[in-house]
Chain A
Amino acid sequence: MPEDKTIQELGLDEYKFGFRDPEEYFFKTPRKGIDAEIVAMISKHKNEPEWMLEYRLKALESFFEKPTPQWGGDLSELDFDEIYYYIRPMENQGRTWDDVPDDIKNTFEKLGIPQAERETLAGVGAQYESEVVYHSLKEEWDKAGVVFMDMDSGLREHEDIVREYFGTIIPADDNKFSALNSAVWSGGSFVYVPPGVHIDIPLQAYFRINAENMGQFERTLIIADEGSSVHYIEGCTAPTYTSNSLHSAVVELIAKPNARIRYSTIQNWSHNTYNLVTKRAVAEENATVEWVDGNLGSKLTMKYPAVYLMGEGARGEILSVAYAGDGQHQDAGGKVVHAAPNTSSLITSKSISKGTGRSTYRGLLKVHEGAVNSKSRVECDALLLDENARTDTYPYIEIEEKKVNTEHEATVSKVGEDQLFYLMSRGLSEEAAMAMVVNGFIEPIAKELPLEYAIELNRLIQLEMEGSVG
């Protein structure tokens, strides 16, 4: 596709990131589907240590053993044999932006990277298909001992740390998709923040699927050592194809005592991507972990970021917003486990459904015996934009301790005729009025994001809604 053609000219304007590049790759697995041979090929190609190959192969067995989940969304059309599990777009990772091949560079430039890096980020990673094609970390953070690199480099350069933590928060056999990721993982980020270092501007990773029938299995591990803090942001897109893609990431976070990790995601997958992600964090004594999760696009998203509050005084917060348009299912929520005294958690989930879109809140709140004086609050609000849209709530609560304080609140609202009329009587078009109500609805989450991302989130939702008013 010629680079100067606009998206509108290509007729893909309903999904802005639907453009695609020609598929020219340095290496691609010779066939679709997955077996031990493919897994070994990936590992060999990456020149990995033996233990990682063994880890992958064992995970592959779990993947085969575990049945496809029957709860949540409809996975019946997801065919594991129709997916390419590993594609390496270029031989070596770019050190500078100039090293990145033009077509890939153009893709990321269209997506607004690296302008954002120059202005507001401490570091950037960009993953294209299976590999991270570009990575940078500003010098001051490098000097402070911060490690921010792709997971493969992390394994090479910090094998001891990786070996110590990899898969400890999310074991390979946790679920079918964590098993799959553990078998074929590639790319993702490895972050280590030394004790007491506060990275005051975000690190960002960007994930782009380009090839048809592609599976992207990035693997991220973030360790914030004692008293440190970091904000990590990820953004994701894929082009529009007729057949399905799969994105199945595993993200593990470890917040050591008094550390703070905020992990923000704005996912905007094309409408035929299965987005099945396992995200889990451990918060030690007085540590704080926050997941801020925006789920747009995809055919089906199943994602329930979790925080395990393991140390006294730990705090966990999960803020999520999901938008389910026609034919989409967003099955999202959060999970908090209180395993120590004086821990606190807050889950705020907001979903918007339109047309035949369906959003589900699925959450688990668990308080172990002995987690005295724990406080927890779950709030899920659903907004329906029209009559057909659907929303369900499955809040599971297991409490083994008496001295706790838990609150749960769920609301479902429809955009009211009177509300729209009120706004329209002030000159707003029906679309603008609808967008204003929706933006107001997600405001509590948008305001937790850095300004540019909040604007981006609002804009993306607006794009998704365009032409939806009738």
Chain B
Amino acid sequence: MLKIEGLRAEIDGQEILKGLDLEVGKGEIHAIMGPNGSGKSTLSNVLMGHPRYEVTGGAITFMGEDVFELEADERAKLGMFLAFQYPSEVPGVSVANFLRTAVNSVREEELSPMAMYKLIQEKMKIMQMDPKFAERYLNEGFSGGEKKRNEILQMLMLEPKLAIMDETDSGLDIDALQVVAKGVNELRGPEFSAVIITHYQRILRYIEPDHVHVMLDGRIVTSGGKELALELEDKGYDYVRQEFGAGTQS
């Protein structure tokens, strides 16, 4: 489904991703953990096609297609989705209007206004969002947790094949965390894959990953099953640095 090979990327001349490999199969849930600044958001942005990053090496294929040829919107239409660590605010554009436009952009055929309305209501209910959020301006004045819920709402509306979730769990209270997990599990199935970027194994209790990877200095340095998350939380990143940091220095 998603295959990343030897990915190198830089921003403003600074190399951040330094030869990253990752393969995500159909229906799999992967977790990526790693210290601040290790390049997790950079990876998310590069995967989704942020124009500010320059890819200097490697390859990314999604469903057999070379995504470097595609703009962000084309990647979205292929079924990629990024839940942002820091979603942008768009004043004057209501959540409902935005969702309508987004859903109709990725779909082959436009949804009727009635069907759209129902869909929005249904998904907001799953996310336990007050219906009046539909008329609020996109992310404007939303609390941190509300923004995250809104990201998952968008994911439910767009039904991607691959979701990258960049610290969606950060800053969520326990209830919100469960709601977000419920949202993700809603989509879980043989046709849905996810890459969950997180600092805590807490969320992984609700969304069980098939694989856990540790990212350090622009690379995946070790991978394992869900027990790796627990081990990390126990031992901290210093342990990882000692174990893998030096040996992978190029």
Q: Is B82 an interface residue (CB 8 A)?
A: yes
Residues of B with C-beta under 8 A to A433:
73
Chain B positions 126 through 149: 1 when the CB is less than 8 Å from some CB of chain A, otherwise 0: 000000000001100000000000
- Nearest chain B CB to A349 CB, angstrom units: 15
Contact with B along A424-466 (1 / 0, CB 8 A): 1111111011001101111110000000000000000000000
Inter-chain contact B91/A440, CB cutoff 8 Å: yes
- The answer, yes or no, to whether A422 is at the interface (CB within 8 Å) is yes
- Is A423 an interface residue when CB atoms closer than 8 A count as contact? yes
Residues of A within 8 Å of B49, CB to CB, are 421, 424-425
Give Cα A442–Cα B93 distance, bound, in whole angstroms.
10
Whether A443 pairs with B93 at a CB distance below 8 angstroms is: yes
Known A428-B102, A432-B101, A440-B137; judge A422-B84 contact (CB<8 A): yes
Which one, A416, A424, A437, A441, contacts B76 given CB within 8 A?
A: A424
Q: Is B98 an interface residue (CB 8 A)?
A: yes
Interface string of B76-97 (1 = CB under 8 A from A): 1100011010011111110000
Q: Is the CB of A421 within 8 A of B72?
A: yes
Chain A residues whose C-beta falls within 8 Å of the C-beta of B92 in the assembled complex: 439-444
Report if A418 contacts B (CB, 8 A).
yes
Chain B 39-95 interface residues, beta-carbon cutoff 8 Å to A: 45, 48-52, 71-73, 75-77, 81-82, 84, 87-93
A417 adjacent to B52 (CB under 8 Å): yes
**Given known A-B contacts A441-B91, A441-B92, A443-B92, A425 and B101 have beta carbons under 8 A apart:** no
A425 near B91 with CB under 8 A, answer no
Cβ contact within 8 Å between B106 and A427: yes
* Chain A: minimal CB distance from B39 (Å): 18
- B105 A432 Cβ-Cβ under 8 A: yes
Complex CA–CA separation, A425 to B138 (angstroms): 15
Q: Who on chain B is nearest to A433 by CB?
A: B73
Chain A contact residue count (CB 8 A cutoff): 24
In angstroms, Cα B99 to Cα A428, docked, is 11
CB neighbors of B among A352-392 (8 A): none
Instruction: Tell me the bound Cα distance from A436 to B105 in angstroms.
Output: 13
Q: Is the CB of A421 within 8 A of B158?
A: no
| Contact in complex: A429, B90 (CB < 8 Å) | no
Chain B residues whose CB sits within 8 angstroms of the CB of A418 once the complex forms: 88
Q: How far is the CA of A422 from the CA of B93 in the complex (A)?
A: 13
For A436, the chain B residues whose CB sits under 8 A away are: 90, 93, 98, 101
B105 near A427: Cβ-Cβ < 8 Å: yes
| Complex CA distance for A405 and B182, rounded to whole angstroms | 51
Interface residue? A115 (CB, 8 A): no
Contact A416 B88 (CB under 8 A): yes
Bound complex: CA A437 to CA B98 (Å): 10
Interface size class on chain B is 20 to 34
Contact assessment for A428 and B52 in the assembled complex, using a CB-CB cutoff below 8 Å: no
Report the nearest A residue to B91, measured CB to CB: A440
Contact across chains for B93 and A439 when beta carbons are under 8 A apart: yes
B98 proximity list for chain A (CB < 8 A): 423, 426, 436
> A162 CA to B84 CA in the complex, in Å?
62
Closest-CB distance, A451 to chain B (whole angstroms): 14
A437 CA to B154 CA in the complex, in Å? 18
Inter-chain contact A427/B73, CB cutoff 8 Å: yes
Taken residue by residue from 166 to 201, chain A's Cβ proximity to chain B (1 for < 8 Å, 0 otherwise) reads as 000000000000000000000000000000000000
Contacts A424-B72, A424-B76, A425-B72: A417 and B51 contacting too (C-beta < 8 A)?
A: yes
Least Cβ distance of B36 to chain A in Å? Answer: 20
Across the interface, which residues of A come within 8 angstroms of B138, CB to CB?
440
Assembled-state Cα–Cα distance A42/B82 (Å) = 67
Output the nearest chain B residue to A424 by Cβ-Cβ distance. B72
Q: Are A428 and B71 in touch, CB under 8 angstroms?
A: no
Instruction: List, in ascending order, chain A residues with CB within 8 A of B102's CB.
Output: 426-428
* Chain B hits for A421, CB < 8 A: 45, 48-51, 72, 88
For chain B residues 14-50, which have a beta carbon within 8 Å of chain A?
45, 48-50
Contacts of A243 in B (CB 8 A): none
Residue numbers in A under 8 Å from B72 (CB-CB)? 421, 424-425
- B93 nearest CB neighbor, chain A only: A440
Q: Which residues of B contact A428 (CB under 8 A)?
A: 73, 101-102, 105
Asked if A106 is at the interface (CB within 8 A of a chain B CB), the reply is no
How far apart are the CA atoms of A442 and B92 in the complex, in Å?
7
Task: Select one of A422, A426, A430 contacting B71, CB under 8 A.
Answer: A430
CB contacts (< 8 Å) of A444 on chain B: these are 92
A419 within 8 A of B: yes
Instruction: Find the A residue at minimum CB distance from B139.
Output: A422
Which of chain B's residues have a CB closer than 8 A to the CB of A424? 49, 71-73, 76
* Shortest CB distance A199–B (Å): 30
Closest chain-B Cβ to A416's Cβ sits at a distance in Å of 7
Chain A residues with CB below 8 A from B48, complex form: 421, 425
Known contacts A440-B93, A440-B137, A444-B92; A426/B158 CB under 8 A: yes
Residues from chain A with a CB closer than 8 A to the CB of B82 are 425
Residues of A within 8 A of B81 (CB): 425
Query: CA of A432 to CA of B84 in the docked complex: distance in angstroms?
Result: 20
Q: A425-B72, A428-B101, A430-B73 are in contact. List 17 more A-B contacts (CB 8 A).
A: A419-B88, A419-B89, A419-B90, A421-B45, A421-B51, A421-B72, A424-B71, A425-B48, A426-B102, A426-B106, A427-B73, A430-B71, A433-B73, A436-B101, A440-B93, A441-B91, A444-B92
Residues of B within 8 A of A (CB): 45, 48-52, 71-73, 75-77, 81-82, 84, 87-93, 98, 101-102, 105-106, 137-138, 154, 158
Interface residues of A (CB under 8 A from B): 416-419, 421-430, 432-433, 436-437, 439-444
22 contacts between A and B (CB under 8 A): A417-B50, A417-B51, A419-B90, A421-B88, A422-B87, A422-B88, A423-B90, A425-B72, A425-B73, A425-B75, A425-B76, A426-B98, A426-B158, A427-B102, A427-B158, A436-B93, A436-B98, A437-B93, A440-B91, A440-B93, A440-B137, A441-B91
Query: Nearest 8 CB-CB pairs, A to B?
Result: A440-B92, A443-B92, A427-B105, A440-B93, A427-B106, A424-B72, A426-B102, A427-B76
